[in-house]
Amino acid sequence: MALPKDLEVPFTQFACIGTGFSGIALGATIQRWYNIPTSSIQFFDSQPCVGGTWTINQYPGAACDVPSALYSFSFERNPNWTRFLPPHDELRAYLTRVAEKYNLIPRMKFNAKVTKAEWIPDRTNPRWRLTTLDLPTNTTSHHDCQFLFSGSGQFNSPRPLDVPGIESFQGPVIHSARWDHSIPLKDKKVVIFGNGCTAAQIVPSILPETAHLTQIVRSKHWIYPPVDAKVSPLTKKLLASTPGATWLQRFIVYYLADKDWVGFLLTPSGAKFRQKRKEMAERYMKTTAPEKYHALLVPEFEIGCKRRVFDSGYLECLHSDKITLTNQTPTAILPNGVEMAGGSTIEADVLVLANGFETNTPTTLLPVHGIAPSTLQSHWSSDYPGPEAYNCTSLHNFPNFFLLWGPNTATGHTSAVMAIENAVNFALRVIKPCLEGKCSVVDVTEQAEKEYVERMQEALQKTVFTSETCDSWYTARDKKTGRMVWNGMTYPWSQARYWWDCLWVRRRDFVYSGPATGRSVIVKKRRSGLWFAAFAVMALGGLLAWVDRNPDSRLALALAGSRFGVVLPVLRTCGLGLLGRKGLNWR
């Protein structure tokens, strides 16, 4: 072990909160890049098993909405997905397989909730101390580490229902993220709150067994035609046996998804894009859903304001006699149902909450205490009005601490896994001097964080998320004026830009300090034959970064247009492939 340790408290060089995509990406990458053994990392998760989101969300119909060719690790491509948008159990099985392959499971402590993380500024042994609660035994213990990663996700706190009286309801109440399959829905009268991505998957899945389903709809969502399909045995065979086929498939999906980023911008090309998509979605919604529900369903706000919903049988099932949609306001939960504005009661045996998650609020955060008196809570309420981080990963006064899939990394149009991999890669590039034994502590400067965040919020002001008709969990608004005050959720630029920004560490933005540990990274040999390709890709990356900043230039429009936009993104993603390839130490 690199640093002297307090023998009372177990120590690992790395610790990670969470065992979802983020935790697994970290555990695999420290091995792939630096040959760091798994014994150097300890994971903690309050869930009983690996998988994060895909263990937590087991509601009927749960599946991803980005094709798994892209919604998976670039270093663990899988030719055997059964569908383009596989269900939750297949995603969980994939994550378990990857965790097993990299021997991470023995390093994961489950049913262990991290209740506190505290920076110990010891001169000879600066480190993080975690306090963990073993949930089955209700006992606390400590764990020390040099580098702390939060892979704790963004959708872990179910939003409480904002209708009074829930405790008086006599039947079961199920939140989508706490689904209990032992609760029977067969021949029951069910009321479901919400109509976002989650509800659109639950409704068609449970409707056939219920006696009647009433859906309480408060806001609207743009719904796109389905993109899911079974993957044929022949396709699987081709993907498995043709060299580069899974890469090509990934490039195509990446390109098709990421080019939609232009639709978030308040530019003429963005407006044109949104208009086209709006016409397409409106046509689809109106031709698929019953006419009596068009006014309830079809949004007035712009495409892009909220994550689009890919239809998975939702609109079609609204033709059933067994379902009723209402946009009346629920005023109270009664023992036997829901009281609506106007005084009517909807009877219910079971209530299903698909009302989303707490976001943009520091109250649900991990209690992380950095250099005193900074806590995550104070950093994101007094230093800044909401969640933020330098390059979405680092915070000043929180040395050796990195957020994976942190603030502003959510995307409304493409895979979170890309952002997660990029954040992991960036953090491992940042700490490389310490891994080489030149230092033991790294902290981003206050100035760098401030400037980055200003740039981020300024760029977000030029996106559809700010528009007044665009209310979503992405943004926090002033209750009186309705103006967007903070967006700590979405990324305003393309994912190519995030990849580019994660490729380079501006060392001047970080302060490296602490005792040199003498540990040196076992770096794998470079494959010099790939240097040329890497430089070519960097040049392309530079071009794309320029395009990102000048989205209305002719060149940008040409690249975004499908006629000219094929070759470059393919090359760009080829480059991603080369740079991420095992053995190439481009970091």
Ligand X SMILES: NC(=O)c1ccc[n+]([C@@H]2O[C@H](COP(=O)([O-])OP(=O)(O)OC[C@H]3O[C@@H](n4cnc5c(N)ncnc54)[C@H](OP(=O)(O)O)[C@@H]3O)[C@@H](O)[C@H]2O)c1
As given in the structure block, the two tokens for residue 476 are 């926090």
Per partner kind, with CB cut-offs from 5 to 8 A, the member of ligand X, ligand FAD, none near residue 356 is ligand X
Q: Is residue 43 classed exposed, middle or buried when 0-12, 13-18 and 19+ CB atoms within 10 A define those classes?
A: buried
> Looking up tokens 């310490």, which residue turns up?
434
> Looking up tokens 């489950």, which residue turns up?
110
Q: How far is the CB of 478 from ligand X (least distance, A)?
A: 17
Q: Does 155 bind ligand X (CB under 6 A)?
A: yes
**Part in contact with ligand FAD (CB under 6 A); list of ranges 47-55, 160-168, 255-263, 525-533:** 47-55
Angle between helical axes of 88-101 and 21-34 (0-180°, round to 10): 30
**Part in contact with ligand FAD (CB under 6 A); list of ranges 26-34, 148-156, 158-166, 430-438:** 148-156
Q: Does 20 bind ligand FAD (CB under 6 A)?
A: yes
Q: Does 66 bind ligand FAD (CB under 6 A)?
A: yes
Q: Does 433 bind ligand FAD (CB under 6 A)?
A: no
> Looking up tokens 């031709």, which residue turns up?
287
Q: How far is the CB of 377 from ligand FAD (least distance, A)?
A: 14
Side chain identity at 334, as an amino acid letter?
Answer: L
Q: Which residues does 542 contact at the CB level (< 8 Å), separation at least 6?
A: 500
Q: How far is the CB of 130 from ligand FAD (least distance, A)?
A: 9
Q: Does 17 bind ligand FAD (CB under 6 A)?
A: yes
Q: Is residue 168 classed exposed, middle or buried when 0-12, 13-18 and 19+ CB atoms within 10 A define those classes?
A: exposed
Q: Nearer to ligand FAD by C-beta: 404 or 521?
A: 404
Torsion of CA 58, 61, 62, 68, to 10 degrees: 130
Site track 334-363 with ligand X (rule: CB under 6 A), x = hit: --------------------xxxx------
- Binding to ligand X (CB under 6 A) within 296-325 occurs at 307
Question: Which residue number has the CB closest to ligand X?
Answer: 196
- Binding to ligand FAD (CB under 6 A) within 349-388 occurs at 366
Question: Which of 14, 19, 21 lies closest to 48, judged by CA?
Answer: 19
Q: 42, 96, 198, 205: which one contacts ligand X (CB under 6 A)? A: 198
Beta bridge partners of 108: 43
Interface with ligand FAD: number of residues (CB under 6 A): 33
- Rounded Cα distance, 444 and 396, in Å: 5
Q: Nearer to ligand FAD by C-beta: 130 or 470?
A: 130
Q: How far is the CB of 222 from ligand X (least distance, A)?
A: 12
Determine contact, residues 188/210, Cβ cutoff 8 Å: yes
What is the separation of C-alpha 121 from the centre of its chain, rounded to a whole number of angstroms? 31
Q: How far is the CB of 113 from ligand FAD (least distance, A)?
A: 4
**DSSP-derived 3-state class of residue 118:** strand
Q: 416, 423, 428, 460: which one contacts ligand FAD (CB under 6 A)? A: 416
Question: Which of 378, 481, 390 lies closest to 444, judged by CA?
Answer: 390
- Rounded Cα distance, 85 and 62, in Å: 10
Q: Which residues bind ligand X (CB under 6 A)?
A: 64-65, 155, 161-163, 176, 193-199, 201, 216, 218-219, 307, 330, 354-357, 473
State the residues that interact with ligand FAD by CB under 6 A. Answer: 17-23, 44-47, 52-53, 57, 62, 64-66, 71, 113-114, 151-153, 155-156, 198, 366, 404-405, 415-416, 420
